[in-house]
Structure 1
Amino acid sequence: RERGAELHLLDEDVSILAGAPESPFDVFGLHDSYDNLTLGSLGLFQRHNAALALGAAELFLDAPLDVHALRLALAEVTVAGRLEAVSHKPLCLLDGAHNLHGLTALMDSIEEILPRCRIIAVVSILEDKDARAMLSELAPRCDILFVTASSNPRALPPAALAEIVEELVEPPQRGPEVFVDEDPCSALRSAYKLASSNQVVLVTGSLYLVGDIKRGLGR
């Protein structure tokens, strides 16, 4: 408003009609509506991001988009480090959610995509983040939690993360089994060994951790 900028809002000016996680979705844009869209990347929040990008493109062009070109482009979209699957037996997802908002969106997306799965998490969090809030969102969904430290010098010590998880569990609740491992790749190997068919291995909490794991996997 101070700069006289034109303001458009998701869910008001641009909206989404979405069904099941794997099904196509529709976007009602500023100039036209676009149906039967699919995304190459996982997660409800990625549909929201796609709708925002679509609206921005319409504003820039001041015209409707070519729906055929739009469908082709969205189907090819992948976002590294955002619900990125790096293995399938066990299923291992990398997501660089590094604050409470991002982690909440991640948990909502996993619940949408894999509603009955349990999680074995490998997590590192930087010292300037609200680790307690993030772990309070993550820990209740986990059977097992490996706390580790990314290569960033601002990463919280794994022992400090383990202590926070312990403090969050109030009897008679039973929290996740917690393992401390200073080495992210070692933690991931241990998570792989423990994962059963109904569990997903999730690497999260820090983009630096995701980078460390991807380098360890040779990606």
Structure 2
Amino acid sequence: MNYEEALAYLDTFINYERKTDYQYKAAFKLERIQKFLSNLGNPQHELKAIHVAGTKGKGSSACFIAQILKEEGFRVGLYTSPHLKDFRERIRILDPDNTAEERSAFPGMILKNDLVSLLEQIMPGIGFFRHSFQNFGALTFFEIITAIAFKFFQEKKTDFVVLETGLGGRFDATNAADSYVSVITPISYDHELILGNTLAEIAFEKAGILKKSNKKTKNDVSVCVTAPQPKEVLDVLRRRARSEGAILFEGGRDFYSKKLSGDLFSQNFFYQGLKDTSYFFTTKMLGAHQLVNASLAVAACEALSLHGIKIRGSAVGKGILNAFWPGRLEVMSTKPFIILDGAHNKDSACRLSYFLEKEFKRLRKWMIFGVSEDKDIKGIAEQLEPLVDKVILTRSDNPRAADPRKVLMPYFKNKAYAVTQTVEEAFNILNKEIAAEDAAIITGSLFVVGQARELWQK
């Protein structure tokens, strides 16, 4: 089996990143991946995991945490989704001894040969599971690659792994792992048809990653760190923490940050942390929300002290400075300004609109916009449409993509400059029409952003 054949084989499994018509509780079963992993020897039990769930900022927070731990000298596995261009972006190891890839957008990606080898190792187990445990239902795309990630991190003897949930948390395949620290990023409305129609219902699913203390850890304590949250979310998290006997550190109460200065390339902020620690940091990741994510990451690393693990302030500072997460307010060009941002719900669109209003108020603004059909398209459009001058509507090659003419056009009819069926077509129109003194934002979906980023690099 070669790499292309391996990807083709993985694509034969049901992939909920590309579907909308399914019942969440029937499709997602934690006991299924747990049973499958037990047949593989439970590699996840050998990992020191920091587990990240939430609505927004999961990937950025995971990236910050992994980079901080790497700067402390640890070999850190990083498991995220979805990928922007290369499937291997999902499974990475940040190694302090590997400096050759430091300038890469996604350093430490799993090698193609390693991916093929691991898949071949577990394929007999997949066949055995399919025939012997039919009552659990069919394994999914995400469950298979999560198992591969666990095996990879185990075999490579990582010191820590940082795991981003795929969807929700309670039934997510990543929740088969026990965590040293559970991390909850800002929770807002998203996937309402799947996770619930209220913030409390959504928070209940996310809070499922917060579990009782893990007996194999040094201090036998369960720890959760959360970003500032609405009251109804905090109520859920506090109840969950009490029921699981966990220590809960809350953003805004136990730690906080304040922006000091910034421009289109970096921002400086003050951080007041756990046990009254305080630091001044610089990050290259833009937007006020990234200060929330960075502070959450620092608090998560500080919380490791409850397991006897100390992270130096110098390592934290380097990690915050060197962390980079493509496709999130990423400046690709300055003449004209081209910004990529994967905002795909109303809350993230609100944050993006604030950034655009603040940084590009006097410039003519273009937008390439494409979004998945299961998103709050009306809510996103209400935030972005008033702030842009011309909109090019498009769709990614993901089957969940909303039809730009039938679905998106009614929300942008007064600003629509063109309607396209591919990101490449939209990108070509933008390149032809945009002036050097203009600004453009490409947004609505990480799938759109990923395709646009690849086109720009070409």
Aligned equivalent of 2:33: none
Q: Which of the residues 145, 154, 157 maps onto 2:403?
A: 157
Q: How does 1:168-183 map to 2 (within 5 A)?
A: 175-183=414-422
Deviation at 1:17, TM superposition (A): 1.9
The equivalent residue for 1:104 is 350
> Secondary structure of 1:215's partner?
helix
The answer to whether the 8 Å contact 1:122/1:148 transfers is yes
Give the alignment partner of residue 120 of structure 1, picking from 361, 366, 369: 366
What is the percent sequence identity of the aligned residues?
29
* Cα deviation code 1:120-157 (max 9, x no counterpart): 00010111011111111111000000000110112111
Q: Distance in 2 between matches of 1:191 and 1:31?
A: 50
Structure ID, larger Rg: 2
In the alignment, does 2:281 pair up with 1:37?
A: yes
- Structure 1 residues 64 and 32 mapped into 2: Cα distance closer, same or farther (>3 Å)? farther
CA contact (8 A) 1:21 1:113 kept: no
* Equivalent in the alignment of 1:205: 444
| AA partner of residue 448 (structure 2) | L
Equivalent-residue separation in structure 1 for 2:326 and 2:393 (angstroms): 22
Q: TM-score normalized by structure 1?
A: 0.87
Give the 3-state SS of the residue equivalent to 2:400 in structure 1.
coil
Report which stretch shifted further, 15-24 or 138-147: 15-24
Unmatched tracts of structure 2, length 5 or more: 1-238
Q: Which has the larger helix fraction?
A: 2
SS in 1 for 2:380: helix
Deviations 1:91-129 (A, max 9, x none): 111111111111112222333444444420001011101
TM superposition score normalised by structure 2: 0.43
Task: Report if aligned partners of 1:192, 1:201 keep a CA contact under 8 Å in 2.
Answer: no
Determine the structure 2 residue equivalent to 1:73.
Answer: 319
Separation of aligned partners in 1, 2:284 and 2:351: 18
Which letter does structure 2 place at the counterpart of 1:210? Answer: V
Q: How many residues align?
A: 211
SS at structure 2 position matched to 1:128: coil
Q: 1:178 to 1:30 in 2, by over 3 A?
A: same
Deviations 1:43-72, CA, capped at 9 Å, x for gaps? 111111000011111111247742222222
Tell me whether 1:190 sits opposite 2:429 in the alignment: yes
| Structure 1 portions without partners, runs of 5+ | 167-174
Provide the C-alpha distance between the structure 1 equivalents of 2:349 and 2:319, rounded to a whole number of angstroms. Answer: 27
Partner-residue secondary structure (3-state), 1:217: helix
Distance 1:125 1:73 in 2: 32
Following superposition, the deviation at residue 40 of structure 1 comes to: 1.6
Q: Please give the alpha-carbon distance, in whole angstroms, between the structure 1 residues aligned to 2:321 and 2:434.
A: 30
Match in the other structure for 1:169: none
- Indicate which of 293, 302, 308 corresponds to 1:49: 293
Higher RCO (CA < 8 A, seq sep 6+): 1
Within the candidate set 353, 360, 380, 1:134 is matched to: 380
- Structure 2 distance, partners of 1:218, 1:17, is 34
- The worse-fitting range, judged by mean Cα deviation, of 1-10 and 62-71 is 62-71
Hey, what's the Cα distance between the residues in 2 that align with 1:106 and 1:5? 34
- The answer as to whether partners of 1:45 and 1:109 remain within 8 angstroms in 2 is no
- After superposition, the CA RMSD in angstroms is 2.0
